[in-house]
A = this chain, B = another copy of it.
Amino acid sequence: MSKFQPLSTAIKENLFSGSFVVFEGFTHLIPYAAAHETIRSGITDLTLARMTPDVIYDQMIGMGMVSKLIFSYAGNPGVGLLRRLRDAVENDWPRPLVIEEHSHAAIANSYEAGASNLPLAILRGYQGAGLKGINANIKSIECPFTGEILAAVPALRPDVAVIHAQKADSKGNVLVEGIIGVQKQAVLSARKAIVTVEEIVPELNTHPNACIIPSWAIASISIVPGGAHPSYTQGYYERDNSSYLEWDKISSDRDAFRVWMQKNVLEQGPEVFNQRVEHLRD
């Protein structure tokens, strides 16, 4: 088992045009390096899902790689709207984007259902809310004990889940800590998982109930220090807020966007992330 791979190999061997992929992370530990490698790989027609599609999904959508997006909150965290996503939804640029929209609670439960190998998740959700009327994947079930009508949503079962984490031990077991979002659920809901980590350590040496993903539940691990920049990795480096503010400007213009992507993504490699976080390390 060669779990440890260069990121380019990990992406090439696991992601394909037409794949259903989730790059998860809730503000913390966003897998930027893996997303940029995916952009460089040239694949297209991806279906993406995520609770909080943010800058990396804006970038992939703007590059025309995405045919469908399943999501619950599409924003530039702490800044505002996602302008490439807006352009796709409002103007079909650079291509039409099919969207399937849920609430956070529903998507979180959809991952959990996927991780639990169930076909659906149930929640007391969407009460009085408009999404029920426009999303055919929000159905309902009747509780056989109380008669209550509850919302039902299908499980998410992506082909591949991609996350960034603090570290792996030498056997490839991965520790995620701090704001853990739905990363564990996303990894376990997927057929394959790709993980980028800040470092490899001999032993994880952590709390007995820490969030650890065993090696055998992961397809591939790549060491990419700084791989979550400009988001942050708790214990390693801080969020680079200026990049999020800049993104608002860059993404507001189609040409500026393409120039920026060419220079900062297409012509770079994963090794650039370590430099980008140098001034942000604790």
Please give, as numbers and ranges, the residues of chain B lying within 8 Å of A180 by CB-CB distance.
209
Whether A207 and B177, one on each chain, are in contact in the complex, defined by CB atoms closer than 8 angstroms, is yes
Whether B146 and A119, one on each chain, are in contact in the complex, defined by CB atoms closer than 8 angstroms, is yes
30 of the cross-chain contacts (CB-CB < 8 Å) are: A118-B122, A118-B124, A119-B143, A119-B145, A119-B146, A119-B148, A119-B150, A120-B145, A120-B146, A122-B122, A137-B145, A139-B144, A139-B145, A141-B141, A141-B142, A143-B152, A144-B152, A145-B152, A145-B154, A177-B208, A177-B209, A178-B208, A178-B209, A180-B209, A206-B207, A207-B207, A207-B209, A208-B234, A209-B210, A209-B211
Whether A123 and B119, one on each chain, are in contact in the complex, defined by CB atoms closer than 8 angstroms, is no
> Which residues in window 164-190 of A have CB below 8 A to B?
177-178, 180
> Which residues in window 202-216 of A have CB below 8 A to B?
206-211
A184–chain B nearest beta-carbon distance, Å: 10
* Chain A residue total in the interface (Cβ 8 A): 30
- Closest 5 interchain pairs by CB? A207-B207, A139-B144, A119-B146, A119-B143, A145-B154
A interface secondary structure, majority:
loop
- A-to-B contact residues, CB < 8 Å: 117-120, 122-124, 137, 139-146, 148, 150, 152, 154, 177-178, 180, 206-211, 234
Which of B117, B141, B207 interacts with A210 by CB under 8 Å? B207
**Cα-based distance from A31 to B123 in the complex (angstroms):** 32
Q: How many copies does the complex hold?
A: 2
With both beta carbons as reference points, the residue of chain B lying nearest to A113 in the complex is identified as: B122
**Cα-based distance from A19 to B30 in the complex (angstroms):** 47
**Cα-based distance from A210 to B178 in the complex (angstroms):** 10
**Cα-based distance from A208 to B175 in the complex (angstroms):** 12
With A206-B207, A210-B209, A211-B209 already in contact, the answer to whether A143 and B117 are too (CB < 8 A) is no
Which of B117, B139, B211 interacts with A124 by CB under 8 Å? B117
A111–chain B nearest beta-carbon distance, Å: 15
Most chain B CB atoms below 10 A, which of A124, A145, A150, A209: A209
With both beta carbons as reference points, the residue of chain B lying nearest to A211 in the complex is identified as: B209
Please give, as numbers and ranges, the residues of chain B lying within 8 Å of A119 by CB-CB distance.
143, 145-146, 148, 150
With both beta carbons as reference points, the residue of chain B lying nearest to A120 in the complex is identified as: B143
Please give, as numbers and ranges, the residues of chain B lying within 8 Å of A210 by CB-CB distance.
207, 209-210
With both beta carbons as reference points, the residue of chain B lying nearest to A122 in the complex is identified as: B122
